Chains A and B, each alone.
Chain A
Amino acid sequence: MNMRQRVVWLVWSGVVSAVVLIGLGVCVGSTGFEDLLSPLLNPQVDPVQTAVAQQIVWEIRLPRTLGAWTAGALLGLAGAVAQGLFRNPLADPYLLGSASGASLGVAMALAAMGGGAGMLGSSVSDSANLVVSVFSSSLWVRVGLTGAAFCGALLAVLLTLALSRGVGHTLRLLLAGVVVGVVLGAMTHLVLLMSPDSLQAMQAFILGSTAFVGWTSTLLMAGVWCLCFVAAWLLARVLDGLSLGDATAISLGLPVAAMRGTLVAVLALATGTAVAQTGLIAFVGLAAPHLVRSLVNTTYGNLMLLASLAGGTLLMAADILARGLIAPQELPVGVLTAVLGGGYLLWLMHRGPNRVAGANP
């Protein structure tokens, strides 16, 4: 099988596994696996059960499952862009400080709303004390927290860019991202210290969850993914050229500085959107491009598509596992992705030293 055939085969594998997982995802809930597809496909057997199944699938599980895919696809795409932009296989989408910026935004919003509390994903409000959760389904809380996370991510990336004086110097950009990450992380802790009621709600954001992703979030993420994917795909050749070094890319006539700026914007938008909807989901952005690279060596144009498919599939699979593993309890999906993604990267590292380290043979 040549490279092109392998890429086509992997695209189809990604699509088929996504469809299978969507089918599985709508059937896994707090009671474990329940077959909702049969009543949906045979409505004449029991119309009441069909109506219930329809409501569960359409209003809860389908948007959640598709939301997990789109969040994973955004992180996979952002991971591929980050690794190409920084020419570092260990780069992840959170490198420019977007994660810590989003955390600070959410922490400040929670503190401003009077402190968050309650269970993961709950949205409880009583007359005495406003109680919110980071994954509340209440529209205004949702909009407020999402907006705060997105603004935080965006401001953090802009701060990183300002500190690194543009995108021209990769190492300076990386160091500025680390500095911004550490400082904003410390500020988040300070906000939480001053508003201890937010701590539990904040924890849910830090662990990451797809539990309360609805149609609005899913459609928003899908739209942003389309936009980011098209922009990144149009610039994929720049990343191919950059993989031979800045000087070679410039000698090939590529407008490196302008294109790098656009790719940073794509990275910030994709990461900020995913983080704002689902919290800090670990390792998907790092593991998805690696998973693709371990299967095929290809150009960035193909890598972006395949890493999106892989990221979507990984997060959707992790989400289903998070729901079903210890049902009726639910694991935060970020914990699962951290354990599975970390284990996978370790396995990859020990399987072949050249894969992750990118060292010479």
Chain B
Amino acid sequence: MSVANHVAMQATAISANLGSVEVLHSINLSLAKGRWTSIVGPNGAGKSTLLKVLAGVLPHSGDVTLLDQAMHQLPKRVRARQLAWLGQNETSADDLSVWDVAMLGRLPHQAWLAGPSAQDQVAVEQALRSTQAWEWRDRALGQLSGGERQRVLLARALAVQAQVLLMDEPLANLDPPHQADWLDIVHALVAQGTTVVSVLHEVNMALHADAVVVMAGGRVHHHGPAGEPHTHRLVEQVFEDRIAIRQLDNQWVALPRRRMWLTKPMSPHNIARDL
């Protein structure tokens, strides 16, 4: 088997602008097939922009291949069947029912005027059940809380049943039990051979991935296994050493490091001296 067969997505010399500002600077990245890769980095690192470029929803320079095919040459619907994207802070369809929103994930599989097939119905039900959103299937999205809404949007992305799943901040608004459920979903997808790429602010969760991409200032600083000490060191560095990665119960956790001057007693004398 050639090396290319192990790669789900390949980005070469990617640059992208937001307005007139270049936010990604000539990025090269190779994402392993059937693995979970997490992208981490401080605010403004370009993580979401990179994910949008990989999803084909943002103009850019450079080349992206998806499952060994040049992405810009793929027909839109074929690409949509192979790659699903869950965005961050996207507008949400308040008036659509939960079922209808999840069914949108099946659009790439449906002929233009055809209604949902039995297979579509099964895929949507499966996706809604996996995010525990099945019970609200008849409710409007606008009637749900932020966390509930996020679970429906996640179900929409899962319903595509794509070979590559890109998720931008999928844990936004989710409570700890549902964050743990999300981990189970991702591990199950990877076990089935799906390639998962996630942008995460929760470093603890990101360290559960197979590989971590560390970004800062629109560049990739490191791409390596999540369990490696070198990866941990670089993650700590891009966060200005304000976190420390430690092992606890066989899991890697990122602990916050407090600034020294704030750890001192808050007396007027100390504050005046530090300032």
Residues of A within 8 A of B (CB): 2-3, 87, 234, 237, 240-241, 243-248, 250-255, 293, 297-299, 303, 354, 358, 360-361
Contacts and interface: CB of A to CB of B under 8 A. Distances in A.
25 contacts: A3-B97, A240-B93, A240-B96, A240-B104, A241-B104, A243-B95, A243-B96, A244-B91, A244-B104, A245-B90, A248-B85, A248-B90, A251-B84, A252-B104, A252-B160, A253-B76, A253-B77, A253-B78, A255-B76, A293-B95, A298-B97, A298-B100, A358-B94, A361-B144, A361-B145
B168 to A, nearest CB: 10
Contact of A241 (B52, B56, B107, B153): B107
B190 to A, nearest CB: 21
Interface of B: 52, 55-58, 76-81, 83-85, 87, 90-97, 99-101, 104-105, 107-108, 112-113, 138, 140, 142-146, 149, 153, 156, 160
Contacts of A248: 85, 87, 90
A213 B83 CA distance: 53
A252 B108 contact: yes
A253 B143 CA distance: 28
B259 to A, nearest CB: 34
A3 B78 CA distance: 31
A253 B91 contact: no
A340 B81 CA distance: 47
A10 to B, nearest CB: 14
Given A3-B138, A247-B85, A251-B55, 14 more contacts: A240-B100, A243-B92, A243-B95, A244-B91, A244-B93, A251-B85, A251-B87, A252-B80, A253-B77, A253-B108, A293-B95, A297-B96, A360-B146, A361-B143
Contacts of A298: 95-97, 100
Contacts of A303: 95
A87 B138 contact: no
Contact of B97 (A244, A247, A293, A297): A297
A237 B107 contact: yes
A240 B110 CA distance: 14
Contacts of A240: 93, 96, 100, 104
Contacts of A241: 104, 107
Contacts of B107: 237, 241, 252-254
Contacts, number: 96
B142 A358 contact: yes
Best-buried of A245, A251, A297 by chain B (most CB within 10 Å): A251
Closest 8 CB pairs of A and B: A253-B80, A243-B93, A245-B90, A297-B140, A253-B77, A251-B85, A247-B57, A253-B76
Contacts of A360: 142, 145-146, 149
A247 B146 CA distance: 20
B143 A251 contact: no
Given A244-B91, A245-B87, A251-B57, A354 B142 contact: yes
B83 A245 contact: no
A352 to B, nearest CB: 10
B101 A247 contact: no
A87 B142 contact: no
B90 A244 contact: yes
Contacts of B80: 251-253
A354 B139 CA distance: 14
Given A240-B93, A251-B85, A252-B80, A2 B156 contact: no
Contact of A2 (B78, B138, B143): B138
A249 B28 CA distance: 27
A237 B106 CA distance: 11
Contacts of A243: 91-93, 95-96
Contact of B83 (A2, A251, A255): A251
B56 A251 contact: yes
Nearest to A247: B57
B126 to A, nearest CB: 18
Nearest to B148: A361
A360 B141 CA distance: 9
Nearest to A233: B113
Contacts of B156: 244
Contacts of A354: 94, 142-143
A250 B93 contact: no
B145 A250 contact: no
B59 to A, nearest CB: 11
A288 to B, nearest CB: 14
A191 B175 CA distance: 62
A229 to B, nearest CB: 15
A87 B91 CA distance: 9
Contacts of B87: 245, 247-248, 251
A219 to B, nearest CB: 28
B139 to A, nearest CB: 8
Contacts of A234: 112-113
Nearest to A250: B57
Best-buried of A255, A298, A360 by chain B (most CB within 10 Å): A360
Contacts of A254: 76, 107
B41 to A, nearest CB: 20
